[in-house]
């Protein structure tokens, strides 16, 4: 088992031991017992977000600063990327300037392959989300939040609800959760489901799941997928009524069951407005845990 | 009297004692006797400017850094705000990430109410300007600059000249100055005056004021209010001639009278180009004082 | 000989001694023997890039941080510049806020004159590139890279190839290199050459130069200059074939000759893709050296 990898681009090939180690470090960062010592020499990290982000971006920023890194906020609009410079040449540049970690979000699936394969690029690549690929730091913070709540993954029942096929959260979470012993279910519009996911769990209508699962993990609905012909023109109200966590459905949840969402939430679409900050919601806690999960990730690529 | 408030969103309900205390602290920050000790633990501040700003934004940034805060420059364009995330959910996120102070400028009047009323949001809110509402840190730096010049507010005569009705500086300044004992006058186009202001001072033509007041406080004219039918299509030149501080008018000012302007100045509109950096001008000093006024504000919400 | 100047806006009037002193300091920053002590009091530097930049901008940022400066990344889009505030008034503001060094890139030739002539502006101005004027920090890093390779400039033969007339790198480099004793040649489309340059060197077709020079310094071709009538509609492929460093031409280079380019490179235009990271290329090293050259520049204006 390797505890440290040079890059952090995907969790899909992580062993349970590796994942549990990262989760342990994240918890230690959270409770202040990680024993991290601020670097004596300056370490530069750069954040490159080619897609809009509030949580992931600022969460990495806070994590980097808490670890004593010097942060470069790469301004995509004002860089040579606007004159057509490629991601490869951009990272080659930052690497030459002495940057040791690049956190990147890009709309391009698996954008990181050419970077980690390059012999000229030496900095660590941390994936902040790629196209409709992965979002491994989100996966880690989700696992951390579930583990914090229930201690263990085995015997847990977890529903992932929404646009399963297009989510970059659904696949990693389903895969990792089932590997760690949880039982995974999927729900949401059937058109948005992909039978590929059958290997990690079972699709069921939300009303068959809401009363029995321990975790209702709701996924963000992309606005652009609403009111289209392909999707039978259903509206936000329709979505909420048919697939969302309404107040009525939330009433049926088990006493200790929790609500999760990677955010930003479409209030009254994926879940009722009043549930976002309700006692069962762990949505704010997920955001808080994101900082510690990312500190664990940064530690792993820096060592 | 409470010297410290959790938030700093408006000065209108401040007592004279509170204001004078903040001014005293600002002066001490300026002359290096504030006795501020850099925080041992990291404190994160975030600046969110939804409207363009050079002075207020960079001034808060410098003030935050001088106090040893870790600063997050929230990039509005590259955040989830661009996908429709609300200000409330954005601040909820930053709060969850561990941000303790949010400095916000927004085009929405009183945007801060829902933030300071929320039970889920714990960070301090500092108002960097709201809609056509308030701009309380500007008020404080203006008061500081006047106090530095004259020592005391009583017996001072102060003219506020320009678009009184639409200014977010005019009301707080008029209110606070009259409360502190100064005599306030207003001038500028009568159409841009609002009789509401009668309770703080008297409207007079600029030529009746220029020779008698101690402070000529000029307000920025918004370009979009020029050359419109509503405003009788008057041009910048017309404005300068009729309501501006021309060189000729400046000649008539009292020996110790000073010129103030919140900037950015439209040179040769509100005042003659050559007056901006003239001996009577305190415009550059206002900008310099802004840093110390904001340090006093940050101190008050952090303690 | 003055080793320190208040501003760093051009190298054209630098003596050889001054240049060699800066190069010596840059080398010392690189090998860790500069003996720079982190400032005890905070020093604020601001970066204002009115034109897109990856290398120069981030390189200055890293240099500033390595010297312990507090960096303000001035956001052009979100500043009052968008409401028409001038560069002069922007710098006047930053100066008032306590900024001691402003690094500026602007599309306006010699934008810096009004700033360094102003009696109200006290901060140091560092030119990060002006219009089709100069790019003095690029010149310094280029000289540093050549010196590192060959030890000395005399007897070196250097070809500068590309859009000579419109480049802000060509003139300073040609001037300084010839002053330092190197022999300079120019190449590229004859239409893009300017006889003004005859005083620093000789124009020759690339094929007459490639086998004899020690340095092939290629300049970036601006996309907008391609496929225009004025330029006989030649394409990128044409440019590469006629004026670029093709693989075939590179074969003819001397054993110890090197390839340089200020980047961003148009791969397969100015030089063949495979040459960018080839053993003869110093392009990545140029970027790395840029940080140290800029530290030497910052040191010179700070002392």
Q: Which residue of B has its CA nearest to C46?
A: B58
Q: Which of the four pLDDT bands, split at 50, 70 and 90, describes residue C114?
A: very high
Residues of A with CB below 8 A from B96's CB? 284-285, 287-288
Mean pLDDT confidence for B24-42: 96
Q: Per the CB < 8 Å rule, is B89 touching A57?
A: no
pLDDT of residue C227: 65
Residues of A with CB below 8 A from B72's CB? 58, 61-62
pLDDT higher than 80, residue B122 = yes
Q: Per the CB < 8 Å rule, is A120 touching C58?
A: no
Token reading at C226? 């391609």
Mutate to test the interface with C, among A44, A65, A82, A97 (most CBs of C within 10 A): A97
What is the share, in percent, of chain C residues with pLDDT greater than 70? Answer: 96
Q: Per the CB < 8 Å rule, is A80 touching C52?
A: yes
Residues of B with CB below 8 A from C71's CB? none
Alpha-helical (H) ranges within B37-183 are 55-66, 87-96, 113-117, 136-150, 170-179
Under a CB-based contact definition with an 8 Å cutoff, are residues C200 and C172 in contact?
A: no
pLDDT of residue B223: 72
Taking the CB of residue A27, how many other CB atoms lie within 10 A of it?
18
Give one word for B181, left, alpha or beta, with left for phi > 0 and alpha for psi -120 to 50: left
Of C145, C136, C177, nearest to C159 by C-alpha is C177
Under a CB-based contact definition with an 8 Å cutoff, are residues C239 and C226 in contact?
A: yes
Considering only CB atoms, C82 lies closest to which of B52, B277, B287, namely B52
Residues of B with CB below 8 A from C94's CB? 58
Burial of A166 (0-12, 13-18, 19+ CB in 10 A): middle
d(CA C173, CA C169): 6
Token reading at C80? 């009052």
Q: Which of the four pLDDT bands, split at 50, 70 and 90, describes residue C1?
A: very low
Considering only CB atoms, A62 lies closest to which of B73, B97, B119, namely B97
pLDDT higher than 80, residue C225 = no
Token reading at A233? 């023109």
Residues of B with CB below 8 A from C85's CB? 54, 264
pLDDT higher than 90, residue C82 = no
More confident residue, C82 or B120: B120
| Fold matches, A11-134+288-302 and A136-287 | yes
Give the C-alpha distances (Å, rounded to integers) separating A39 from B44, B46, B200, B209.
Answer: 19, 24, 57, 61
d(CA A189, CA C203): 69
The CATH T-level fold of domain B11-134+288-302 is Rossmann fold (3.40.50)
Residues of B with CB below 8 A from C98's CB? 62, 288, 291
pLDDT of residue C2: 47
pLDDT higher than 60, residue C60 = yes
Q: Which residue of C has its CA nearest to B50?
A: C78
Chain C residues with CB within 8 Å of chain A CB: 49, 52-55, 57-59, 61-62, 65-66, 73, 75-77, 223, 263-265, 277, 284-285, 287-288, 290-291
Per residue in B133-174, pLDDT (tens digit) is 899 999 999 999 999 999 999 999 999 999 999 898 999 999
Continuous segment of H or E residues that includes residue B21: helix B16-31
Q: What is the mean pLDDT of chain A?
A: 94
Minimum distance, in Å, between the CA of residue C80 and any CA atom of chain B = 5
Mutate to test the interface with A, among C38, C47, C50, C54 (most CBs of A within 10 A): C54
Per residue in A216-252, pLDDT (tens digit) is 999 999 876 666 766 666 789 999 999 999 999 999 9
Radius of gyration of chain A from Cα atoms? 19
Hey, which chains touch C, using 3+ CB pairs under 8 Å? A, B
The residues with which C254 forms a beta bridge, in sequence order, are none
Q: Per the CB < 8 Å rule, is C284 touching A89?
A: no
Would you call C50 helix, strand, or coil by DSSP? Answer: coil
Would you call B165 helix, strand, or coil by DSSP? Answer: coil
Identify each DSSP E strand in B108-264 by its residue range: 124-130, 157-161, 183-187, 201-203, 215-218, 258-260
Considering only CB atoms, B264 lies closest to which of C70, C72, C80, namely C80
pLDDT higher than 80, residue B32 = yes
Q: Per the CB < 8 Å rule, is C291 touching A89?
A: no
Considering only CB atoms, A98 lies closest to which of C55, C62, C223, namely C62
Token reading at B15? 């007592």
Q: Which residue of C has its CA nearest to A90?
A: C54
More confident residue, C223 or A36: A36
pLDDT of residue B2: 47
pLDDT of residue A5: 84
pLDDT higher than 60, residue B295 = yes
Minimum distance, in Å, between the CA of residue B73 and any CA atom of chain C = 9
User: Cβ neighbours of residue C297 under 8 Å, at least 6 residues apart?
Assistant: C8, C22, C63, C126, C137, C140
DSSP label at residue C279: T
pLDDT of residue C226: 64
d(CA A112, CA A137): 15
Mutate to test the interface with B, among C39, C50, C61, C83 (most CBs of B within 10 A): C83
pLDDT of residue B5: 83
pTM of the model: 0.96
Mean pLDDT confidence for A89-111: 97
Taking the CB of residue A255, how many other CB atoms lie within 10 A of it?
5
Residues of C with CB below 8 A from A119's CB? 277
Per residue in C129-162, pLDDT (tens digit) is 999 889 999 999 999 999 999 999 999 999 999 9
Q: Per the CB < 8 Å rule, is B93 touching A265?
A: no
pLDDT of residue C22: 97
Residues of A with CB below 8 A from C288's CB? 96-98
Considering only CB atoms, A54 lies closest to which of B42, B90, B119, namely B90
Chain B residues with CB within 8 Å of chain C CB: 49, 52-55, 57-59, 61-62, 65-66, 73, 75-77, 223, 263-265, 277, 284-285, 287-288, 290-291
Q: Per the CB < 8 Å rule, is C66 touching A96?
A: no
Tell me the CB-side half-sphere exposure of residue B148, using CA atoms within 13 A: 22
Of A216, A229, A219, nearest to A266 by C-alpha is A219
Under a CB-based contact definition with an 8 Å cutoff, are residues B185 and B201 in contact?
A: yes
Hey, which chains touch B, using 3+ CB pairs under 8 Å? A, C
d(CA A252, CA A212): 9
Reported ipTM: 0.95
Mutate to test the interface with C, among B29, B57, B62, B281 (most CBs of C within 10 A): B62
pLDDT higher than 60, residue C274 = yes
Q: Per the CB < 8 Å rule, is C44 touching B65?
A: yes
Considering only CB atoms, C291 lies closest to which of A70, A97, A120, namely A97
Token reading at C105? 């890139």
The residues with which C218 forms a beta bridge, in sequence order, are C161
DSSP label at residue B232: T
CA C61 to chain centroid: 15
| Domain segments of chain A as ranges | 11-134+288-302, 136-287
Q: Which of the four pLDDT bands, split at 50, 70 and 90, describes residue A4?
A: low
Give the C-alpha distances (Å, rounded to integers) separating A185 from A15, A209, B281.
Answer: 22, 8, 70
Mean pLDDT confidence for A184-189: 97
What is the share, in percent, of chain B residues with pLDDT greater than 70? Answer: 96
pLDDT of residue C157: 98
pLDDT higher than 90, residue B6 = yes
CATH number for the domain whose boundaries are B136-287: 3.40.50.1370
Per residue in B173-189, pLDDT (tens digit) is 999 999 999 999 999 99
Token reading at C224? 């907008």
First to last CA, chain A: 15
Mean pLDDT confidence for C53-59: 95
Mutate to test the interface with C, among B36, B53, B54 (most CBs of C within 10 A): B54
Give the C-alpha distances (Å, rounded to integers) separating A164 from A286, B102, C103.
Answer: 20, 35, 48
Considering only CB atoms, A93 lies closest to which of C73, C285, C287, namely C287
pLDDT higher than 70, residue B1 = no
Chain A, chain C: beta-carbon pairs less than 8 Å apart:
69
Burial of A37 (0-12, 13-18, 19+ CB in 10 A): exposed
Under a CB-based contact definition with an 8 Å cutoff, are residues C216 and C206 in contact?
A: no
What is the share, in percent, of chain A residues with pLDDT greater than 90? Answer: 86
pLDDT of residue C303: 84
Under a CB-based contact definition with an 8 Å cutoff, are residues C120 and C92 in contact?
A: yes
pLDDT higher than 90, residue C222 = no
Minimum distance, in Å, between the CA of residue C1 and any CA atom of chain A = 32
pLDDT of residue B234: 75
Q: Per the CB < 8 Å rule, is B42 touching A54?
A: no
């Amino acid at each position: 088992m390797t505890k440290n990898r040079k890059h952090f681009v995907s969790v899909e090939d992580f062993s349970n031991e590796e994942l549990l180690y990262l989760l342990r470090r994240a918890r230690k960062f959270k409770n202040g017992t990680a024993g991290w010592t601020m670097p004596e020499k300056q370490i530069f990290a750069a954040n490159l977000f080619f897609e809009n982000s509030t949580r992931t971006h600022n969460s990495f920023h806070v994590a980097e600063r808490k670890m004593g890194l010097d942060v470069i906020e790469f301004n995509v609009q004002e860089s040579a990327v606007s004159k057509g410079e490629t991601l490869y040449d951009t990272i080659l540049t930052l690497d030459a300037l002495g940057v040791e970690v690049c956190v990147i979000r890009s709309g391009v699936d698996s954008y990181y392959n050419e970077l980690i394969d390059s012999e000229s690029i030496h900095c660590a690549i941390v994936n902040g989300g790629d196209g409709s690929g992965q979002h491994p730091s989100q996966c880690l913070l989700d696992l951390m939040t579930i583990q914090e709540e229930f201690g263990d993954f085995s015997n847990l029942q977890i529903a992932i609800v929404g646009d399963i096929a297009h989510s970059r959260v659904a696949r990693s979470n389903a895969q990792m959760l089932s590997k760690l012993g949880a039982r995974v279910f999927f729900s949401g519009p059937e058109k948005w489901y992909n039978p590929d996911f059958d290997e990690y769990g079972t699709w069921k209508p939300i009303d068959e799941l809401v009363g029995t699962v321990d975790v209702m993990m709701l996924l963000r609905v992309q606005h652009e997928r609403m009111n289209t012909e392909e999707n039978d023109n259903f509206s936000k109200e329709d979505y909420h009524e048919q697939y969302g966590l309404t107040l009525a459905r939330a009433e049926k949840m088990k006493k200790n069951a929790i609500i999760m969402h990677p955010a930003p939430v479409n209030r009254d679409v994926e879940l009722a407005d009043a549930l976002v900050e309700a006692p069962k919601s762990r949505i704010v806690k997920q955001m808080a845990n994101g900082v510690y999960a990312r500190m664990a990730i940064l530690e792993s690529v820096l060592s």
